[in-house]
A and B are shown apart, each in its own frame.
Chain A
Amino acid sequence: MDMQATQRNSACVVMLDGSLDALNAPDAIRFMLSQVESGWNHLILDLSQVDFMSSAGLRALLIVLKECRYQGGDLRLVGPNPAIANILKITGFTGVMQVFDDVEQAASSFATV
């Protein structure tokens, strides 16, 4: 899985490319937590290039969300494909995490915090 982080206003945008499954989730968790440890507690996870997410991926989201909030920030999601958006909805994740259509909207939401 390819991972990269860029700055967007007051937030760090993490872009993942590939499958967020049990194989890749540990690396994704480490990568995202390293951004938080660097001081980026406003994290935007761009899922637009993620083609598959399992329960291991959901667990990764929870771990990173928990740490972001512990540090006084938040984790917000961008651009899940319809199938991933479906599992986020039926598992109630959309009730505890904000999901946006694009990075611009997500970054703007942090600007109003």
Chain B
Amino acid sequence: MNETTTARTYCLTKAAHIETLPAFREMIRMACANHADIDEQTCYDLQLAVDEACSNIIEHGYAGMNPGSIMLELRLSPFPAVITITDFGHPFEPVDAPMPETEAALENPDISGFGLFFIYNFMDEVDYQPSEAGNHLILIKYLPSKAKADHSGIE
């Protein structure tokens, strides 16, 4: 049976509050459920990267100002998955960092830094484009091999 998978775009805009994190993750989960090529681990990776990025925006991007909104867009073509997260706070670029030492983090959990590690470890590409029209964080995840193989036969 030939399965045709078409590109789809999912969007969600919510206030930048910690209470909205589950809604962003749920949008990712529901989108993944519509695409048979995306396995549970990949879906979890996408949810984790979005959760960590949105948490940073809420904690740092909108620090000291009235919280605005976070716009989440997920484009799922057969491959890859492209996530764009837009906010209107202070530019806060998530920088690539080595994985924290767990023993050291045990001494001082407040500086653990695992969130940034998750974003860079679970995503294949990370780009940040701040502008007056909003700060755009672009996360790209190449999907498992089955999706890549199918892609070659799709217009």
Contacts and interface: CB of A to CB of B under 8 A. Distances in A.
Contacts of B101: 92
Nearest to B55: A22
A59 B112 contact: yes
Given A22-B21, A23-B21, A95 B102 contact: yes
Interface stretch (B40-48, B85-93, B140-148): B40-48
Nearest to A88: B102
B109 A54 contact: no
Contact of A52 (B25, B107, B117): B25
B109 A21 contact: no
Contact of B109 (A22, A63, A82): A63
Interface residues of A, number: 24
B118 interface: yes
B3 interface: no
Interface SS, A side: helix
Interface in B9-54: 18-19, 21-22, 25, 40-41, 44, 47-48, 51-52
Contact of B115 (A19, A55, A66, A83): A55
Given A65-B106, A91-B102, A58 B112 contact: yes
A62 B112 contact: yes
A82 to B, nearest CB: 7
B59 to A, nearest CB: 8
A98 B102 CA distance: 14
Interface of B: 18-19, 21-22, 25, 40-41, 44, 47-48, 51-52, 55, 58, 99-103, 105-107, 109-110, 112-115, 117-118, 121
Interface of A: 19, 21-23, 52, 54-56, 58-59, 62-63, 65-66, 82-83, 86-87, 90-93, 95-96
21 contacts: A19-B25, A21-B22, A21-B25, A23-B21, A52-B47, A52-B51, A54-B48, A55-B52, A55-B114, A55-B117, A59-B112, A59-B114, A62-B106, A62-B112, A63-B109, A65-B106, A66-B106, A66-B107, A83-B44, A92-B99, A96-B102
